[in-house]
Chains A and B, each alone.
Chain A
Amino acid sequence: MESESKSDFVWTRKHLIGLKDLSRRELEHIFSTADAFRPVGGNRVMKFPTLRGRLVVNMFFEDSTRTRNSFALAAKRLSADTLDFTKKASAVSKGETLVDTARNIVSMGVDMIVIRHNAGGAPLLLSRAVDVPIINAGDGFNEHPTQALLDTYTIRAHRGSLDGLKIAIVGDIAHSRVARSDIYAMTKLGAEVTLVGPPTLMPPKVSQLPVKVSTSLDDVIEEVDVINMLRIQFERMGSNPFPSVREYSRFFALTVDRLKRAKPDILVMHPGPLNRGVEIESEVADSPNSVILEQVAHGITTRMAVMLLVSQAAAMEKN
């Protein structure tokens, strides 16, 4: 075949550090690439030879099962070998710096690093220190770009586009890197985002974000097309931001009663893990409106797309 591809867009980013600087066109390019990884005909798992012979290391300095497994599966479905790396099992626990650790790993022939770290900026630091693509799997309170990609991809799968959609992100915004990446992605794709939660869980400088803010879920529930419920991240809090979990649930949980007042086709999302009975009632999480499990499935395909694109960009840089 000698014909050129119909798309003339060329992805040039060797790293995926965050969505703050990504353009709408780049987001759409990730989505169209992910489309190619969706299973065709039943549940048959498609495996592609694209990254055969490559080694991807998962460097997770924070506990994670869902995201780590999702990245590992994405790498495997692209035929890459994977290496798991945890803080406990590394020389970081002996005092080695993150950069030195990463340089050692790259010297072993690693072709790509997926990193989760409790310090915001760690992936950016690595991207400047080593020569292989870096993918951010969540850094501190900063960003969780692939989660936002799978969130927006899931909405696009149901609605075709995010243009004009009203989306509420509810709960612990202050401690949520997911919310931050979601805001960047959703607003660039044309959605109107409202952050909902108690004032104590709003991030500082929220007024500088391109969003609306509400302290009442009841005020917005009837008008939104998508609602993304966040988990309260007690482990990240120094002090209690609200009097009790019960009181929080009374005002901010997505309950069956609240869902009845919402648009009939509202999409209910959650980045997981769920705290059933706290931010979302069990019946709502399992309702026909819930796309939570689809989010998990789309996590693999969107991460495959990102891995492919950064690999191509790295290859282009060497050319």
Chain B
Amino acid sequence: MTQLLDKKQIDQAISRLADMIIESSGDEVVILGIRDRGEILSERLSKIITSRAGKTALSGALDITLYRDDITEPSGAMRAVQPSYIPCPLNDKEIILADDVLHTGRSCRAALDAIVAYGRPRLIKLAVLIDRGGREYPIQADYTGVKLEVRDDQKVRVTLEEYGDIDQAVLE
């Protein structure tokens, strides 16, 4: 296990993401974090954007389990489904989809399906803490905290204080 980012670097990356979003977004955005870690990222971004720029940045949590294409496949992961938390109607809103690690792009694909099931946003952008490469779908982030090149057989794991751990990203 190798540490990729420590607490300070994670704070800096989130701060950078917030600045990028403030710079290029309208006065009102809805940040939807992909459960579980993306939810925390969304909450932290929302706080920073609200306090730093005075913009309305509502935070929500998106559970994408039901939109994955492998949930009932033999190769699929058994994931417990949790309710999503959508803080407001999404029609005509500017949505920032937030996740901790961008890898194959399949989670984001599922998240896009989940979002459009709730409404028809005006715009959806993607913010990720770490882009580790290895895409299998044509999906790119609009805002990236840290970009890394990681081998396919390695795993990037983000742990966060909100789940009783320390803020860090490690390579497993």
Contact in complex: B86, A40 (CB < 8 Å) = yes
Shortest beta-carbon distance, A197 to chain B, in Å? 38
Contact in complex: A312, B71 (CB < 8 Å) = yes
Residues of B within 8 A of A318 (CB): 74
Residues of A within 8 A of B100 (CB): 1-3
- A-facing mask of B94-108, CB < 8 A → 1, else 0? 000001110100010
* Residue B145, interface by CB 8 Å: no
Q: Given A1-B37, A312-B78, A319-B74, does the pair A46, B117 have CB atoms closer than 8 Å?
A: yes
Which of the residues B35, B63, B66, B86 comes within 8 Å of A41, measured between beta carbons?
Answer: B86
- Within B58-117, which residues are at the interface with A (CB < 8 Å)? 63-67, 69, 71-76, 78-84, 86, 89, 99-101, 103, 107, 113, 117
A-B contacts at CB below 8 angstroms, number:
98
Contact in complex: A308, B86 (CB < 8 Å) = no
Q: Given A1-B38, A36-B66, does the pair A315, B82 have CB atoms closer than 8 Å?
A: no
In the complex, the chain B residue whose C-beta lies closest to that of A12 is B78
Interface 9-mer from A49-57, A91-99, A137-145, A169-177: A49-57
In the complex, the chain A residue whose C-beta lies closest to that of B159 is A3
Shortest beta-carbon distance, B1 to chain A, in Å? 14
| Cα-based distance from A4 to B101 in the complex (angstroms) | 12
- A-facing mask of B12-41, CB < 8 A → 1, else 0? 000000000000000000000011111000
Residues of B within 8 A of A54 (CB): 72
Contact in complex: A36, B113 (CB < 8 Å) = no
* Residue A10, interface by CB 8 Å: yes
Residues of B within 8 A of A11 (CB): 78
Contact in complex: B37, A29 (CB < 8 Å) = no
In the complex, the chain B residue whose C-beta lies closest to that of A111 is B72
Which of the residues A36, A46, A315 comes within 8 Å of B76, measured between beta carbons?
Answer: A315
Shortest beta-carbon distance, B41 to chain A, in Å? 11
Q: Given A2-B157, A36-B66, A38-B83, does the pair A10, B78 have CB atoms closer than 8 Å?
A: yes
Contact in complex: B67, A48 (CB < 8 Å) = yes
- Within A26-70, which residues are at the interface with B (CB < 8 Å)? 29, 32-33, 35-36, 38, 40-41, 44, 46-51, 54
Q: Which DSSP category, helix, strand, loop or mixed, fits chain B's interface?
A: loop
* Residue A158, interface by CB 8 Å: no
Residues of B within 8 A of A3 (CB): 36-37, 100-101, 157-158
In the complex, the chain A residue whose C-beta lies closest to that of B118 is A40
Q: Count B interface residues, CB 8 Å.
A: 40
- Within A132-173, which residues are at the interface with B (CB < 8 Å)? none
Shortest beta-carbon distance, A148 to chain B, in Å? 21
| Cα-based distance from A311 to B78 in the complex (angstroms) | 11
Shortest beta-carbon distance, B24 to chain A, in Å? 24
- B-facing mask of A179-200, CB < 8 A → 1, else 0? 0000000000000000000000
Contact in complex: A32, B82 (CB < 8 Å) = yes
Contact in complex: B83, A35 (CB < 8 Å) = yes
- A-facing mask of B153-166, CB < 8 A → 1, else 0? 00111100001000
Residues of A within 8 A of B99 (CB): 1
| Cα-based distance from A50 to B67 in the complex (angstroms) | 6
Residues of A within 8 A of B163 (CB): 6
Which of the residues B34, B71, B86 comes within 8 Å of A50, measured between beta carbons?
Answer: B71
| Cα-based distance from A40 to B157 in the complex (angstroms) | 31
Contact in complex: B36, A6 (CB < 8 Å) = yes
| Cα-based distance from A166 to B99 in the complex (angstroms) | 45
| Cα-based distance from A156 to B147 in the complex (angstroms) | 45
Ordered by A's residue number, 23 sampled pairs between the chains whose C-beta atoms are within 8 Å are A1-B99, A1-B101, A1-B107, A3-B36, A5-B35, A5-B65, A6-B163, A11-B78, A33-B80, A33-B81, A36-B82, A40-B83, A40-B86, A41-B89, A41-B119, A49-B66, A49-B69, A50-B71, A50-B72, A51-B72, A315-B74, A316-B74, A319-B75
Q: Which 3 A-B pairs have the closest CB atoms?
A: A7-B80, A318-B74, A1-B107
